[in-house]
Chain A
Amino acid sequence: MSTATKVKKSEGLFSKKNQKLISDPFNDNNPITVQVLGICSALAITVKLEPAIVMAISVMFVLAIGNVVISLIRNLIPNRIRIIVQLVIVAALVIIVDQVLKAFVYDVSKQLSVFVGLIITNCIIMGRFEAFALANTPWKSFMDGIGNAVGYGVILIIVAFFRELLGSGSLLGFQVIPDSWYIANGGFYANNGFMLFPPMALIVVGIIIWAQRAKNTKLIEENN
Protein backbone atom coordinates (compact mmCIF):
# COMPACT_ATOMS: atom_id res chain seq x y z
CA MET A 1 0.00 0.00 0.00
CA SER A 2 2.67 2.45 1.01
CA THR A 3 4.81 1.55 -1.98
CA ALA A 4 1.84 2.09 -4.25
CA THR A 5 1.34 5.64 -3.01
CA LYS A 6 5.04 6.19 -3.23
CA VAL A 7 5.09 5.14 -6.86
CA LYS A 8 2.15 7.38 -7.57
CA LYS A 9 3.85 10.30 -5.90
CA SER A 10 7.03 9.94 -7.85
CA GLU A 11 5.06 9.72 -11.09
CA GLY A 12 2.37 12.43 -10.89
CA LEU A 13 0.05 13.19 -13.77
CA PHE A 14 2.09 16.22 -14.77
CA SER A 15 5.51 15.13 -13.59
CA LYS A 16 8.60 16.56 -15.28
CA LYS A 17 8.85 13.44 -17.39
CA ASN A 18 5.28 13.70 -18.56
CA GLN A 19 5.57 17.40 -19.29
CA LYS A 20 8.51 16.60 -21.47
CA LEU A 21 6.26 14.32 -23.54
CA ILE A 22 4.31 17.41 -24.51
CA SER A 23 7.13 19.93 -24.81
CA ASP A 24 9.62 17.71 -26.62
CA PRO A 25 7.75 17.36 -29.92
CA PHE A 26 7.15 21.09 -29.84
CA ASN A 27 10.77 21.95 -30.43
CA ASP A 28 13.58 19.42 -29.94
CA ASN A 29 11.72 16.58 -31.58
CA ASN A 30 9.19 18.32 -33.80
CA PRO A 31 7.53 15.81 -36.11
CA ILE A 32 7.70 18.09 -39.16
CA THR A 33 10.85 20.14 -38.81
CA VAL A 34 13.06 17.61 -37.02
CA GLN A 35 11.69 14.20 -37.93
CA VAL A 36 10.45 15.48 -41.31
CA LEU A 37 7.22 13.47 -41.15
CA GLY A 38 3.76 14.52 -42.29
CA ILE A 39 5.17 16.81 -44.98
CA CYS A 40 2.55 15.79 -47.57
CA SER A 41 -0.35 17.25 -45.62
CA ALA A 42 1.71 20.30 -44.73
CA LEU A 43 1.91 21.01 -48.46
CA ALA A 44 -1.65 20.22 -49.32
CA ILE A 45 -3.82 22.06 -46.85
CA THR A 46 -1.83 25.13 -45.92
CA VAL A 47 -3.09 27.44 -48.67
CA LYS A 48 -5.57 28.93 -46.20
CA LEU A 49 -5.42 29.25 -42.44
CA GLU A 50 -8.82 27.81 -41.61
CA PRO A 51 -8.41 24.32 -43.13
CA ALA A 52 -4.94 24.15 -41.57
CA ILE A 53 -6.42 24.78 -38.11
CA VAL A 54 -9.16 22.21 -38.67
CA MET A 55 -6.58 19.72 -39.92
CA ALA A 56 -4.45 20.32 -36.82
CA ILE A 57 -7.44 19.74 -34.53
CA SER A 58 -8.46 16.63 -36.48
CA VAL A 59 -4.98 15.17 -36.25
CA MET A 60 -4.90 15.96 -32.55
CA PHE A 61 -8.15 14.08 -32.04
CA VAL A 62 -7.05 11.07 -34.05
CA LEU A 63 -3.55 10.93 -32.57
CA ALA A 64 -4.55 11.42 -28.92
CA ILE A 65 -7.51 9.03 -28.94
CA GLY A 66 -5.69 6.55 -31.15
CA ASN A 67 -2.68 6.53 -28.86
CA VAL A 68 -4.92 5.89 -25.84
CA VAL A 69 -6.85 3.08 -27.55
CA ILE A 70 -3.67 1.38 -28.76
CA SER A 71 -2.10 1.78 -25.35
CA LEU A 72 -5.15 0.29 -23.61
CA ILE A 73 -5.07 -2.84 -25.74
CA ARG A 74 -1.30 -2.98 -26.17
CA ASN A 75 -1.01 -6.22 -24.22
CA LEU A 76 -3.83 -7.85 -26.16
CA ILE A 77 -2.64 -7.09 -29.69
CA PRO A 78 -1.07 -10.13 -31.37
CA ASN A 79 2.38 -9.10 -32.50
CA ARG A 80 2.02 -10.39 -36.05
CA ILE A 81 -0.98 -8.23 -36.94
CA ARG A 82 -0.18 -5.15 -34.88
CA ILE A 83 0.32 -2.85 -37.89
CA ILE A 84 -3.05 -3.89 -39.31
CA VAL A 85 -4.71 -3.34 -35.94
CA GLN A 86 -3.18 0.14 -35.80
CA LEU A 87 -4.43 0.85 -39.29
CA VAL A 88 -7.97 -0.25 -38.45
CA ILE A 89 -8.03 2.04 -35.45
CA VAL A 90 -6.65 5.07 -37.33
CA ALA A 91 -9.06 4.44 -40.20
CA ALA A 92 -12.04 4.20 -37.85
CA LEU A 93 -11.10 7.43 -36.06
CA VAL A 94 -10.54 9.25 -39.33
CA ILE A 95 -13.93 8.17 -40.65
CA ILE A 96 -15.50 9.49 -37.45
CA VAL A 97 -13.77 12.86 -37.94
CA ASP A 98 -14.80 12.98 -41.59
CA GLN A 99 -18.45 12.22 -40.86
CA VAL A 100 -18.65 14.73 -38.03
CA LEU A 101 -17.08 17.46 -40.17
CA LYS A 102 -19.53 16.75 -42.99
CA ALA A 103 -22.45 17.02 -40.61
CA PHE A 104 -21.48 20.11 -38.63
CA VAL A 105 -18.83 22.16 -40.49
CA TYR A 106 -19.79 21.44 -44.07
CA ASP A 107 -17.76 24.22 -45.71
CA VAL A 108 -14.57 23.17 -44.03
CA SER A 109 -15.15 19.54 -44.90
CA LYS A 110 -15.54 20.56 -48.53
CA GLN A 111 -12.20 22.35 -48.45
CA LEU A 112 -10.40 19.52 -46.73
CA SER A 113 -12.16 16.96 -48.95
CA VAL A 114 -9.78 14.07 -49.51
CA PHE A 115 -7.16 15.27 -47.08
CA VAL A 116 -9.19 14.17 -44.07
CA GLY A 117 -9.07 10.66 -45.46
CA LEU A 118 -5.36 11.08 -45.93
CA ILE A 119 -4.84 11.54 -42.19
CA ILE A 120 -4.75 7.74 -42.27
CA THR A 121 -1.53 7.88 -44.24
CA ASN A 122 0.01 10.59 -42.07
CA CYS A 123 3.23 8.95 -41.00
CA ILE A 124 3.24 10.81 -37.68
CA ILE A 125 0.23 8.83 -36.49
CA MET A 126 1.45 5.33 -37.30
CA GLY A 127 4.86 6.38 -36.08
CA ARG A 128 3.60 7.38 -32.62
CA PHE A 129 1.42 4.25 -32.32
CA GLU A 130 4.30 1.98 -33.17
CA ALA A 131 7.05 3.83 -31.34
CA PHE A 132 5.23 5.03 -28.25
CA ALA A 133 1.71 3.78 -27.56
CA LEU A 134 2.60 0.10 -27.90
CA ALA A 135 5.06 0.40 -25.04
CA ASN A 136 3.56 2.99 -22.69
CA THR A 137 0.60 3.54 -20.40
CA PRO A 138 -2.57 5.26 -21.65
CA TRP A 139 -1.95 8.58 -19.87
CA LYS A 140 1.59 8.90 -21.18
CA SER A 141 0.38 7.93 -24.64
CA PHE A 142 -2.31 10.58 -24.44
CA MET A 143 0.26 13.24 -23.52
CA ASP A 144 2.55 12.05 -26.28
CA GLY A 145 -0.32 12.23 -28.79
CA ILE A 146 -1.27 15.76 -27.78
CA GLY A 147 2.35 16.85 -27.81
CA ASN A 148 3.08 15.54 -31.27
CA ALA A 149 -0.20 16.86 -32.67
CA VAL A 150 0.58 20.32 -31.29
CA GLY A 151 4.08 20.18 -32.72
CA TYR A 152 2.60 19.26 -36.07
CA GLY A 153 -0.25 21.76 -35.87
CA VAL A 154 1.93 24.71 -34.95
CA ILE A 155 4.10 24.25 -38.04
CA LEU A 156 0.98 23.80 -40.18
CA ILE A 157 -0.50 27.03 -38.86
CA ILE A 158 2.71 29.01 -39.30
CA VAL A 159 3.02 27.84 -42.91
CA ALA A 160 -0.65 28.55 -43.62
CA PHE A 161 -0.34 32.00 -42.04
CA PHE A 162 2.38 33.06 -44.49
CA ARG A 163 0.81 31.36 -47.48
CA GLU A 164 -2.61 32.94 -46.95
CA LEU A 165 -1.19 36.36 -46.08
CA LEU A 166 1.21 36.56 -49.04
CA GLY A 167 -0.80 34.48 -51.50
CA SER A 168 -4.33 35.80 -50.96
CA GLY A 169 -3.76 38.93 -48.87
CA SER A 170 -6.15 37.64 -46.23
CA LEU A 171 -6.13 35.83 -42.89
CA LEU A 172 -8.88 33.38 -41.97
CA GLY A 173 -10.74 34.72 -45.00
CA PHE A 174 -10.65 38.37 -43.90
CA GLN A 175 -8.87 40.77 -46.21
CA VAL A 176 -5.91 42.29 -44.35
CA ILE A 177 -4.06 43.96 -47.23
CA PRO A 178 -6.00 47.20 -47.91
CA ASP A 179 -7.86 47.17 -51.23
CA SER A 180 -6.32 50.44 -52.30
CA TRP A 181 -2.82 48.89 -52.27
CA TYR A 182 -3.60 46.62 -55.19
CA ILE A 183 -2.38 47.45 -58.68
CA ALA A 184 -5.91 46.94 -59.99
CA ASN A 185 -7.02 49.85 -57.78
CA GLY A 186 -4.07 52.05 -58.65
CA GLY A 187 -1.79 50.79 -55.88
CA PHE A 188 1.59 49.06 -55.93
CA TYR A 189 0.85 45.61 -54.52
CA ALA A 190 0.01 42.23 -56.03
CA ASN A 191 -0.58 38.92 -54.31
CA ASN A 192 2.14 36.36 -54.88
CA GLY A 193 0.27 33.65 -56.79
CA PHE A 194 3.23 31.32 -56.36
CA MET A 195 2.37 31.08 -52.67
CA LEU A 196 -0.81 29.20 -53.62
CA PHE A 197 1.16 26.32 -55.08
CA PRO A 198 2.49 23.39 -53.00
CA PRO A 199 6.22 23.98 -53.67
CA MET A 200 6.00 27.23 -51.74
CA ALA A 201 4.94 25.30 -48.64
CA LEU A 202 8.15 23.31 -48.85
CA ILE A 203 10.16 26.51 -49.06
CA VAL A 204 8.35 27.97 -46.04
CA VAL A 205 8.92 24.72 -44.09
CA GLY A 206 12.58 24.94 -45.11
CA ILE A 207 12.84 28.47 -43.78
CA ILE A 208 11.23 27.39 -40.51
CA ILE A 209 13.72 24.52 -40.19
CA TRP A 210 16.56 26.97 -40.81
CA ALA A 211 15.29 29.46 -38.25
CA GLN A 212 14.70 26.71 -35.68
CA ARG A 213 18.19 25.26 -36.07
CA ALA A 214 19.79 28.65 -35.93
CA LYS A 215 18.23 29.12 -32.49
CA ASN A 216 18.48 25.54 -31.26
CA THR A 217 22.02 24.58 -32.21
CA LYS A 218 21.93 21.08 -30.75
CA LEU A 219 19.66 20.09 -33.66
CA ILE A 220 22.42 20.73 -36.17
CA GLU A 221 23.82 17.42 -37.41
CA GLU A 222 27.57 16.80 -37.27
CA ASN A 223 29.13 17.10 -40.68
CA ASN A 224 31.63 14.34 -41.27
Chain B
Amino acid sequence: MNVNSNGYTYGFATILVVLVAVILASLAMGLKPYQQANVTKEKKQNILQSIGLDVDRDEAEAQFPDFITSQYVIKSGKVVSEDASAAFNIDMAKAIKIDPSEREVPLYVAERDGGKYYILPLRGKGLWGPVWGFISLESDGETVFGATFGHKSETPGLGAEISTDAFMSQFKGKTLDEANFTIYVVKKGKGMYPNSDVDGISGGTITSDGVNDMIQDCLSAYKPYLETI
Protein backbone atom coordinates (compact mmCIF):
# COMPACT_ATOMS: atom_id res chain seq x y z
CA MET B 1 0.00 0.00 0.00
CA ASN B 2 1.26 3.45 -0.87
CA VAL B 3 1.15 5.44 2.34
CA ASN B 4 1.81 8.63 0.45
CA SER B 5 -1.18 8.52 -1.89
CA ASN B 6 -3.85 11.19 -1.52
CA GLY B 7 -6.60 8.73 -0.64
CA TYR B 8 -4.56 7.09 2.09
CA THR B 9 -3.56 10.46 3.55
CA TYR B 10 -7.19 11.57 3.82
CA GLY B 11 -8.25 8.25 5.27
CA PHE B 12 -5.46 8.23 7.83
CA ALA B 13 -6.19 11.79 8.95
CA THR B 14 -9.91 11.07 9.34
CA ILE B 15 -9.46 7.89 11.35
CA LEU B 16 -6.82 9.46 13.59
CA VAL B 17 -8.93 12.51 14.37
CA VAL B 18 -12.09 10.52 15.09
CA LEU B 19 -10.19 8.11 17.30
CA VAL B 20 -8.54 10.87 19.31
CA ALA B 21 -11.84 12.73 19.64
CA VAL B 22 -13.60 9.66 21.04
CA ILE B 23 -10.82 9.00 23.56
CA LEU B 24 -10.71 12.60 24.78
CA ALA B 25 -14.47 13.00 24.96
CA SER B 26 -14.96 9.89 27.06
CA LEU B 27 -12.08 10.86 29.35
CA ALA B 28 -13.47 14.35 29.88
CA MET B 29 -16.91 12.95 30.72
CA GLY B 30 -15.45 10.44 33.13
CA LEU B 31 -13.39 13.01 35.03
CA LYS B 32 -15.98 15.77 35.07
CA PRO B 33 -17.57 14.84 38.44
CA TYR B 34 -14.17 14.91 40.17
CA GLN B 35 -13.27 18.27 38.65
CA GLN B 36 -16.66 19.73 39.53
CA ALA B 37 -16.30 18.54 43.11
CA ASN B 38 -12.96 20.33 43.42
CA VAL B 39 -14.43 23.61 42.19
CA THR B 40 -17.38 23.35 44.58
CA LYS B 41 -15.16 22.55 47.53
CA GLU B 42 -12.88 25.45 46.76
CA LYS B 43 -15.83 27.83 46.61
CA LYS B 44 -17.08 26.62 49.99
CA GLN B 45 -13.59 26.97 51.39
CA ASN B 46 -13.41 30.58 50.17
CA ILE B 47 -16.82 31.43 51.59
CA LEU B 48 -15.78 30.10 54.99
CA GLN B 49 -12.48 31.98 54.76
CA SER B 50 -14.31 35.28 54.43
CA ILE B 51 -15.69 34.87 57.95
CA GLY B 52 -12.23 34.03 59.24
CA LEU B 53 -12.45 30.24 59.20
CA ASP B 54 -9.32 28.64 57.84
CA VAL B 55 -10.30 25.14 56.81
CA ASP B 56 -8.76 22.62 54.44
CA ARG B 57 -10.43 22.27 51.09
CA ASP B 58 -11.41 18.71 51.93
CA GLU B 59 -13.01 19.73 55.22
CA ALA B 60 -14.85 22.68 53.71
CA GLU B 61 -17.57 20.41 52.36
CA ALA B 62 -18.42 19.05 55.82
CA GLN B 63 -18.06 22.33 57.71
CA PHE B 64 -20.06 24.44 55.27
CA PRO B 65 -23.55 23.55 56.55
CA ASP B 66 -22.44 24.12 60.17
CA PHE B 67 -21.83 27.80 59.55
CA ILE B 68 -23.88 28.82 56.54
CA THR B 69 -27.48 28.90 57.75
CA SER B 70 -29.24 30.14 54.63
CA GLN B 71 -28.57 31.11 51.04
CA TYR B 72 -30.77 33.58 49.17
CA VAL B 73 -31.05 34.88 45.65
CA ILE B 74 -31.40 38.67 45.73
CA LYS B 75 -32.72 40.85 42.93
CA SER B 76 -33.50 44.59 43.12
CA GLY B 77 -33.54 44.55 46.92
CA LYS B 78 -35.85 41.57 47.31
CA VAL B 79 -35.30 37.92 48.07
CA VAL B 80 -36.50 36.09 44.96
CA SER B 81 -35.52 32.57 46.01
CA GLU B 82 -34.52 30.80 49.19
CA ASP B 83 -33.35 27.71 47.38
CA ALA B 84 -29.79 27.07 48.56
CA SER B 85 -28.56 25.37 45.40
CA ALA B 86 -30.05 28.08 43.17
CA ALA B 87 -28.04 30.67 45.06
CA PHE B 88 -24.85 28.61 45.20
CA ASN B 89 -24.91 27.85 41.49
CA ILE B 90 -25.21 31.43 40.25
CA ASP B 91 -22.33 32.10 37.88
CA MET B 92 -20.90 35.47 38.93
CA ALA B 93 -18.92 35.79 35.72
CA LYS B 94 -22.22 36.00 33.85
CA ALA B 95 -24.06 37.92 36.56
CA ILE B 96 -21.71 40.92 36.53
CA LYS B 97 -22.49 41.58 32.88
CA ILE B 98 -26.04 42.58 33.92
CA ASP B 99 -26.80 46.00 35.40
CA PRO B 100 -26.63 45.84 39.24
CA SER B 101 -30.26 46.89 39.63
CA GLU B 102 -31.42 43.96 37.47
CA ARG B 103 -28.87 41.41 38.63
CA GLU B 104 -29.71 38.17 40.41
CA VAL B 105 -27.04 37.64 43.05
CA PRO B 106 -26.48 35.11 45.83
CA LEU B 107 -26.34 36.11 49.49
CA TYR B 108 -24.96 33.70 52.08
CA VAL B 109 -26.02 34.14 55.69
CA ALA B 110 -23.57 32.71 58.21
CA GLU B 111 -23.61 32.21 61.93
CA ARG B 112 -20.43 31.96 63.93
CA ASP B 113 -20.05 32.15 67.72
CA GLY B 114 -23.53 33.65 67.99
CA GLY B 115 -22.88 36.44 65.51
CA LYS B 116 -24.70 36.76 62.21
CA TYR B 117 -22.83 37.62 59.03
CA TYR B 118 -23.73 38.32 55.42
CA ILE B 119 -21.33 36.97 52.81
CA LEU B 120 -21.32 38.58 49.38
CA PRO B 121 -19.48 37.19 46.36
CA LEU B 122 -17.33 39.52 44.25
CA ARG B 123 -16.11 39.23 40.71
CA GLY B 124 -14.30 41.68 38.46
CA LYS B 125 -11.33 42.30 36.19
CA GLY B 126 -7.68 42.51 37.18
CA LEU B 127 -4.77 43.28 34.89
CA TRP B 128 -4.39 39.91 33.14
CA GLY B 129 -7.63 38.12 33.90
CA PRO B 130 -10.55 37.85 36.28
CA VAL B 131 -10.28 38.56 39.99
CA TRP B 132 -12.86 37.41 42.50
CA GLY B 133 -13.50 37.08 46.19
CA PHE B 134 -15.97 37.11 49.04
CA ILE B 135 -16.63 39.90 51.50
CA SER B 136 -18.47 39.34 54.76
CA LEU B 137 -20.47 42.04 56.56
CA GLU B 138 -21.58 42.10 60.17
CA SER B 139 -25.26 42.02 61.04
CA ASP B 140 -25.56 45.82 60.69
CA GLY B 141 -24.95 45.32 56.95
CA GLU B 142 -22.19 47.93 56.73
CA THR B 143 -19.24 46.86 58.86
CA VAL B 144 -16.81 44.57 57.05
CA PHE B 145 -15.99 41.44 58.99
CA GLY B 146 -13.58 39.88 56.53
CA ALA B 147 -12.63 39.55 52.89
CA THR B 148 -10.85 37.05 50.71
CA PHE B 149 -9.61 37.46 47.16
CA GLY B 150 -8.48 35.21 44.39
CA HIS B 151 -7.19 35.80 40.89
CA LYS B 152 -6.51 33.85 37.76
CA SER B 153 -3.24 35.24 36.46
CA GLU B 154 -2.11 38.45 38.19
CA THR B 155 1.64 39.13 38.32
CA PRO B 156 3.35 37.23 41.17
CA GLY B 157 4.83 39.63 43.70
CA LEU B 158 2.72 42.53 42.39
CA GLY B 159 -0.98 42.17 41.57
CA ALA B 160 -1.06 38.64 42.93
CA GLU B 161 -0.49 40.09 46.42
CA ILE B 162 -4.24 40.76 46.65
CA SER B 163 -4.68 37.19 47.84
CA THR B 164 -2.19 37.57 50.71
CA ASP B 165 -3.24 37.97 54.32
CA ALA B 166 -1.47 41.34 54.51
CA PHE B 167 -3.85 42.78 51.94
CA MET B 168 -7.01 40.95 52.94
CA SER B 169 -6.72 41.61 56.68
CA GLN B 170 -6.95 45.36 56.06
CA PHE B 171 -10.66 45.03 55.32
CA LYS B 172 -11.65 43.82 58.77
CA GLY B 173 -13.44 46.50 60.76
CA LYS B 174 -13.83 48.97 57.88
CA THR B 175 -17.23 50.53 57.28
CA LEU B 176 -18.81 50.75 53.86
CA ASP B 177 -18.73 54.34 52.60
CA GLU B 178 -22.24 55.75 52.94
CA ALA B 179 -22.50 57.56 49.63
CA ASN B 180 -21.19 54.81 47.34
CA PHE B 181 -21.72 51.74 49.52
CA THR B 182 -18.20 50.47 49.00
CA ILE B 183 -14.67 50.13 50.36
CA TYR B 184 -12.06 52.10 48.44
CA VAL B 185 -8.76 50.54 47.46
CA VAL B 186 -6.44 53.54 47.24
CA LYS B 187 -2.75 54.35 46.78
CA LYS B 188 -0.92 54.14 50.09
CA GLY B 189 -1.60 57.30 52.07
CA LYS B 190 -3.87 58.84 49.43
CA GLY B 191 -7.16 57.87 51.03
CA MET B 192 -9.85 60.38 51.96
CA TYR B 193 -12.07 58.23 54.15
CA PRO B 194 -9.98 56.53 56.85
CA ASN B 195 -12.85 54.26 57.82
CA SER B 196 -13.54 53.06 54.29
CA ASP B 197 -10.08 52.98 52.72
CA VAL B 198 -7.60 50.17 52.36
CA ASP B 199 -4.11 50.48 50.87
CA GLY B 200 -3.66 49.10 47.37
CA ILE B 201 -0.66 47.09 46.26
CA SER B 202 2.34 49.21 45.30
CA GLY B 203 3.34 48.20 41.80
CA GLY B 204 -0.01 46.52 41.30
CA THR B 205 -2.06 49.60 40.53
CA ILE B 206 -4.24 48.14 37.80
CA THR B 207 -5.07 45.08 39.87
CA SER B 208 -5.81 47.29 42.90
CA ASP B 209 -8.07 49.51 40.79
CA GLY B 210 -9.76 46.36 39.49
CA VAL B 211 -10.47 45.24 43.06
CA ASN B 212 -11.78 48.71 43.88
CA ASP B 213 -14.18 48.68 40.91
CA MET B 214 -15.18 45.08 41.63
CA ILE B 215 -16.19 45.87 45.20
CA GLN B 216 -18.19 48.90 44.21
CA ASP B 217 -19.92 47.16 41.31
CA CYS B 218 -20.77 43.95 43.15
CA LEU B 219 -21.87 45.56 46.41
CA SER B 220 -24.19 47.98 44.65
CA ALA B 221 -26.40 45.05 43.69
CA TYR B 222 -26.98 44.36 47.42
CA LYS B 223 -27.44 47.97 48.53
CA PRO B 224 -31.25 48.10 48.34
CA TYR B 225 -31.54 44.83 50.25
CA LEU B 226 -28.96 45.49 52.95
CA GLU B 227 -30.41 48.93 53.65
CA THR B 228 -33.70 47.36 54.68
CA ILE B 229 -32.15 45.28 57.47
Contacts and interface: CB of A to CB of B under 8 A. Distances in A.
Contact of A81 (B13, B28, B153): B13
Contact of B12 (A77, A99, A193, A197): A77
B34 A104 contact: yes
Interface in A46-101: 47, 75-81, 84-85, 88-89, 92, 95-96, 99-100
Interface string B145-164: 00000001100110000000
B31 A103 contact: yes
Contacts of A209: none
A79 B31 CA distance: 35
A196 B8 CA distance: 51
A100 B32 CA distance: 10
A113 interface: yes
A102 B13 contact: no
Contact of A88 (B9, B20, B38): B20
B16 interface: yes
Contacts of A95: 24, 27
Given A88-B20, A99-B28, A81 B42 contact: no
A92 to B, nearest CB: 5
A162 to B, nearest CB: 17
A107 B27 CA distance: 20
A196 B156 contact: yes
A196 B157 contact: yes
Prevailing SS type, chain B contact patch? helix
B35 interface: yes
A103 B35 contact: yes
A50 to B, nearest CB: 14
A121 to B, nearest CB: 18
B4 interface: yes
A106 interface: yes
B229 interface: no
Nearest to B8: A78
Contacts of B16: 85, 88
A103 B36 CA distance: 8
Given A92-B20, A92-B23, A92-B24, A78 B31 contact: no
A81 B157 contact: no
B156 A102 contact: no
Contacts of B192: none
A77 B9 CA distance: 8
Contact of A96 (B9, B13, B27, B42): B27
B38 A96 contact: no
B129 to A, nearest CB: 10
Given A75-B3, A76-B3, A81 B12 contact: yes
Contact of B31 (A76, A77, A84, A100): A100
A80 B7 CA distance: 12
B35 A102 contact: yes
A114 B128 CA distance: 13
Contact of A47 (B13, B34, B156): B156
Nearest to B20: A92
Which of A76, A79, A96, A103 has its CB near the most chain B CB atoms (within 10 A)? Answer: A103
A74 to B, nearest CB: 10
Given A78-B12, A99-B27, A113 B35 contact: no
Contact of B9 (A78, A92, A107, A196): A78
A100 B95 CA distance: 30
B17 interface: yes
Given A78-B4, A81-B12, A103 B34 contact: yes
Contacts of A197: 157
Contacts of A75: 3
16 contacts: A47-B156, A77-B12, A81-B13, A84-B13, A88-B16, A88-B17, A99-B31, A102-B31, A103-B31, A103-B34, A104-B34, A106-B35, A106-B38, A106-B57, A113-B152, A193-B157
Task: Name the 7 nearest CB pairs between A and B, nearest first.
Answer: A103-B34, A106-B38, A78-B9, A103-B31, A92-B20, A102-B35, A103-B35
